[in-house]
Amino acid sequence: MAYSEADTRSKLIDPSIKESGWLESNIVREYYFTDGRKLIGGKRGKRYFVDYLLTYKNTNLAIIEAKAESKDPLDGLQQSINYAQRLKIDFVYATNGHKIYEHSLLEGKGEFVENYPTPDELFERKYGKVTPKAKDVITHPFYIEGTMKPRFYQQIAVQKTIEAIVEEKDRVLLTLATGTGKTYIAFQIAYRLFQSKWNRDNSDRRPKILFLADRNVLKDQSMNTFNPLEKDCVEINGKIIKKRGGRVPTAGNIFFAIYQSLAVEEENEDDVTAYYKQYPSNFFDLIIIDECHRGSANDESSWRDILNHFGSAVHLGLTATPKRDDNGDTYKYFGEPIYEYSLKDGINDGFLIPYKVKRIQTNIDEYKFNPNDIITGELDKQIIKLEQFEKQVVIPKRTELIAKTILQNMNPMDKTIIFCVNQKHALDMKISIDKFKTIKDNNYCVRVTSDEADLGRDFLEMFQNNDRDIPTLLTSSKMLTTGVDAKNVRNVVLTAPIKSMTEFKQIIGRGTRVFEGKDFFTIMDFVGATNLFYDPKWDGKDEPQAPKGSKGKGKGTAEGGDDPEPPENPPKPSTNGKVSIDIKGKKLKVINIETSYVGMDGVPLKTEDYLELLIGILGKFYNDEDGLREIWSNPANRKDLLNKLKEMNIDESQLNDLKVIFEAENSDIYDILTHISFNLNIKTRSERVFAVEHSEFIEKHHNEKAKEFIEFILERYKKDGVKELDEDKLGKLVDLSGLGSVREVANNFGGIPQMRDEYFELQKEIYR
């Protein structure tokens, strides 16, 4: 009798691996490398794993696909090659315990082999002959603290970077989606280089590393991540330099600064010199540039002057945005990324949170001149388009409408970031939220912009603290687009048009971080910005593009203590300045809210696509209306169907949204499903209740109290829907009815089992 797969592994495959010199410490069995896509109700989708992962000297070298003794060893080869490509592993083995097939991803082909290669053989096939020093750097272990260790893509990013640095590559770029832990990756790279004493001149010393950011909030977050190396970390800022009599700090190994601090010019008696020029040009071995797409690589930027000064160091750029026409100079400077991990990858692997999109349209998304309105200033045109609002034309009542709509479409204590056109708009939005909020706390909604300085940063810190509810809403313009690590953000609100794909990706990333009990976040879009989701460039790899013309020089701040917001590039205002319009005689209102859900390809499903997906899925559960009725009219079967749909990314809130699409808010989901599946007319819950009330079902009960209880249940169903008919709701319905205890009400039916049976029969009658 042939061995099962488990026996094949233990009796045939394990001994064979060990015969080739692989120790137990080199073998990881059932290596799960994804967490499974987040689903509604705290559930997860499928997790991906390989049967065996072979590691040696802290490097992942091979995976083995195991089949039962009786199976063809090549059965799972293609899937294993796909996994190996994702894991950036060069060798795949497929076996049934007797035959071993080796596929080399380096050569793109394979063959049957007698034995597995030894660890040293496989290591040399991957890396070739390397110097002892290079080998030490490549194989140095990660920093592991407790159970926290790098995820598979973080391991790849670190390893690829270390290998590129050892191969003496001067410019290195990593592109990973917001929320995937770029700073943690930077720390692991720095830690391994630091511990293995890598440096540019191959001497026996630890490297000097500079971590460069363009916002204090990003620099501070990074210093926290680098805490295990705290005693070797040094901050560079204006206050510290002034305390040192104008001299920059040099003692230490890992330095943190924002560009603005280093670019400040210090006036000496002899000349005027920027602080960074006090450092010898070869002082640093590695410079890590955080959010490097934000101007550091621009040819004419003063930030670029800093990088040029330290030109002998390795420059490692970190960015969340693949190549676009608005960040081409970044890719021109650093070259193609050595590793990319997209938002779509992060969501599908379960390391980032999926989103749903609410596209909200109002009847004032465009303004047409009306002589009844009170206009302060002069309008250049009779028609004002959406993109001109707040920059050239302010309509206070529109701001109030949006504020009211935001509050109506969120749970009151859900952490929310509202992106506004500029700092003044962010203040107007905060005031409008205050006008309509139900929570009295003065700091429920706060503005966080560069004008708020330290106060804004304090509010941001409080917002990021997951143990605090207040502040709940932040209004901002550009300051929060990057690097703000707030895990429990439930809503990202867009009230400013966004034309840049780079900026759009950064803003979406504010909501994607994983948090306990958070199954998705919502993007509320008042300006059509989410049209960018349907751009072919949204989440794929791009063709190389020629960089556009360069921008002007950056400017520093005297202390390096403030975080100036990036330039907003507003269109030229009219010669009359900003126009304010007080609209008279027209009721402003929301005219449409379209909800869509992100599909596996990272693009929100349009209504017709969603319905097509739904019809295809529903067909797996029933063939005709009788089949659906049988499922739906039994509470246990209904719950089972809804749970199965959840696992396929279709939750009850999505099904309820279909009622809005079909203008059937007072109907049952059952009627929506019969309409979608079989094109039947949609009945309201009132019509269903009316049919039961005029059937023989109620009249067969001679006990008036029994009739009264059935009528009470029908009223609850008519008012609140099918959730009132769940299997576990019967006791609660008895309590709410006020007709007595469970036993007293049950006696009217002849006992508790009979009352329960009648509860189930009533549901069959409702859907008859």
How confident is the chain (768 residues) per 10-residue block, as mean pLDDT? 87 94 94 85 81 94 93 91 94 94 93 94 91 91 88 96 94 91 93 93 92 81 86 87 85 88 64 77 93 63 81 92 67 89 89 88 88 85 85 90 93 92 92 94 90 81 88 84 74 89 82 86 89 73 41 36 42 56 87 75 68 74 86 88 77 73 82 83 90 85 86 87 80 87 89 89 88
Type of residue at 493: V
Do 361 and 325 form a contact (C-beta atoms < 8 A)? no
Pair of tokens at residue 552 = 């002007």
473: nearest Cα among 433, 512, 507, 438: 433
206: nearest Cα among 241, 255, 168, 161: 255
- Residue 297's alpha-carbon distances to 186, 225, 294, 306, 499, in angstroms, are 19, 25, 8, 10, 21
- Residue 36's alpha-carbon distances to 349, 489, 565, 599, in angstroms, are 5, 21, 37, 15
Location of structure tokens 């979406």: 508
Secondary-structure class of domain 357-539+571-582 per CATH = alpha beta
Do 317 and 359 form a contact (C-beta atoms < 8 A)? no
Sign of the Cα torsion 299, 506, 503, 395 reads: negative
The stretches of 465-528 forming alpha helices (DSSP H) are 501-508
Type of residue at 256: F
Do 524 and 450 form a contact (C-beta atoms < 8 A)? no
- Residue 60's alpha-carbon distances to 55, 56, 92, 668, in angstroms, are 4, 7, 11, 53
Domains 5-127 and 132-341 share a fold: no
Q: Per 3-state DSSP, what percentage of the chain is helix, strand, and coil (rounded to 5)?
A: 40, 20, 40
Pair of tokens at residue 417 = 């970031």
Do 268 and 278 form a contact (C-beta atoms < 8 A)? no
CA 32 from chain center: how many Å? 21
What's the confidence (pLDDT) of residue 300? 55
419: nearest Cα among 497, 308, 313: 497
What's the confidence (pLDDT) of residue 176? 92
Do 458 and 482 form a contact (C-beta atoms < 8 A)? no
Do 61 and 89 form a contact (C-beta atoms < 8 A)? yes
- Residue 759's alpha-carbon distances to 640, 699, 766, in angstroms, are 18, 15, 11
Pair of tokens at residue 143 = 């920093």
Pair of tokens at residue 31 = 């290596």
Pair of tokens at residue 177 = 């989606």
Domain positions in the chain are 5-127, 132-341, 357-539+571-582, 606-683, 687-766
Do 74 and 45 form a contact (C-beta atoms < 8 A)? no
The 10 Å CB-count burial string (b at 16+, else e) for 607-630 is eeebeebbeeebeebbeeeeebbe
Helix (H, G, I), strand (E, B) or coil at 460: helix
- Entry pTM: 0.76
Q: Which positions ≥6 away from 705 have C-beta within 8 Å?
A: 739, 740, 745, 748
The CA R_g of the chain, rounded to the nearest whole Å, is 31
CATH 1.10.1040.10 fits 132-341, yes or no: no
Do 420 and 476 form a contact (C-beta atoms < 8 A)? yes
The stretches of 350-466 forming alpha helices (DSSP H) are 396-408, 423-436, 453-464
Q: Residue 51: exposed, middle, or buried by beta-carbon count in 10 A (0-12, 13-18, 19+)?
A: buried
Beta bridge pairs of residue 65: 94
Distance CA 148, CA 433 (A): 40
Distance CA 720, CA 718 (A): 6
321: nearest Cα among 537, 120, 516: 537
What's the confidence (pLDDT) of residue 544? 43
Pair of tokens at residue 439 = 């929570």
What's the confidence (pLDDT) of residue 570? 38
What's the confidence (pLDDT) of residue 371? 86
Q: Which positions ≥6 away from 660 have C-beta within 8 Å?
A: 593, 595
405: nearest Cα among 497, 324, 526: 526
Helix (H, G, I), strand (E, B) or coil at 195: helix
Distance CA 98, CA 66 (A): 11
Do 300 and 553 form a contact (C-beta atoms < 8 A)? yes
Q: Which fold has domain 5-127?
A: tt1808, chain A (3.90.1570)
Distance CA 13, CA 135 (A): 30
DSSP state of 697: H
- What residue ranges in 157-230 does DSSP mark as E strands? 171-176, 209-213
Helix (H, G, I), strand (E, B) or coil at 476: strand
Complete DSSP assignment for 597-635? EE-TTSSEEPHHHHHHHHHHHHTTT-SSHHHHHHHHTSH
91: nearest Cα among 135, 128, 126: 126
